[in-house]
């Protein structure tokens, strides 16, 4: 099929394509335990996800008493080391996500991932779940250089360029996703099931989906 309105569709990773909350919470709690801090529940950690591991950890430390930059740096390293060794213990695609990717591919859509997770970790997670080959490009929070993760438009612009150019849409669950898409001039679809930091209606997306079984029709209506 060639009449689909978006020849390019990009996706955030954590809280959008994949439910990574269990493994991220375990990594946060590993770092916390090493510092004698109380652990957090998955539901407490979910709203902290989206801005990258350091940002997530900093929010968790602030919620349990604060910390110095030096301590944050040490615990960030511990978190990353633990996470890299336990990437997909609990992580799985959201329901109907694979079906949606298949349906888009069948329509000739070029798919991409743009995440604030470090690129090498994003590639490892997708590789362990046998999903890497579905995407033309995988762009991480560090791919465009320091300070150029979402909400910067740079990774979204790079996504469109690497996918060969054309009309694109972006699917995500955080304000960073929506702001980055809009900064690059793309319409955004927000996921109500994601790791929301605020009510999904406040994100300003052009559309909201309750599940991936709604994605194709939603994109066709944008």
- Which residues are part of the catalytic machinery? 12
Three-state SS at 197: coil
SS (H, E, C) 153-174: CHHHHHHHHHCCCCCEEEEECC
CA distances from 77 to 39, 42, 121 (A): 18, 21, 13
C-alpha span between 193 and 126 (Å, rounded): 20
Three-state SS at 206: coil
How large is the greatest C-alpha to C-alpha distance in the chain, in angstroms? 57
Host H or E run for residue 10: strand 8-11
What phi, psi does 209 have (nearest 5°)?
A: -115, 145
Is residue 143 within 8 Å of residue 155, measured between CB atoms?
A: yes
CB neighbours of residue 153 within 10 Å: 18
Question: Which pair of structure tokens corresponds to residue 106?
Answer: 């069948």
């Amino acid at each position: 099929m060639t009449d689909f309105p978006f020849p390019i569709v990009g996706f955030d990773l954590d809280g959008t394509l994949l439910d990574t909350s269990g493994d991220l919470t375990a990594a946060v709690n590993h770092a916390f335990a090493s510092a004698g801090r109380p652990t957090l529940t998955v539901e407490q950690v979910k709203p902290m996800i989206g801005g990258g591991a350091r940002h997530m950890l900093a929010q968790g430390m602030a919620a349990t008493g604060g910390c110095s930059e030096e301590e944050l740096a040490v615990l960030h390293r511990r978190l990353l080391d633990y996470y890299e060794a336990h990437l997909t213990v609990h992580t799985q695609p959201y329901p109907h996500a694979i079906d949606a990717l298949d349906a888009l591919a069948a329509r000739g859509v070029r798919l991409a991932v743009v995440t604030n997770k470090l690129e090498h970790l994003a590639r490892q997670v997708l590789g362990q779940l046998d999903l890497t080959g579905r995407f033309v490009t995988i762009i991480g929070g560090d791919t465009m250089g320091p300070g150029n993760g979402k909400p910067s438009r740079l990774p979204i612009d790079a996504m469109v360029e690497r996918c060969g150019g054309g009309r694109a849409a972006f699917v995500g669950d955080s304000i960073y996703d929506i702001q980055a898409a809009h900064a690059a001039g793309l319409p955004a679809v927000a996921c109500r099931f994601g790791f929301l930091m605020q009510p999904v209606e406040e994100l300003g997306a052009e559309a909201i989906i309750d599940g991936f079984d709604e994605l194709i029709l939603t994109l066709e209506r944008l």
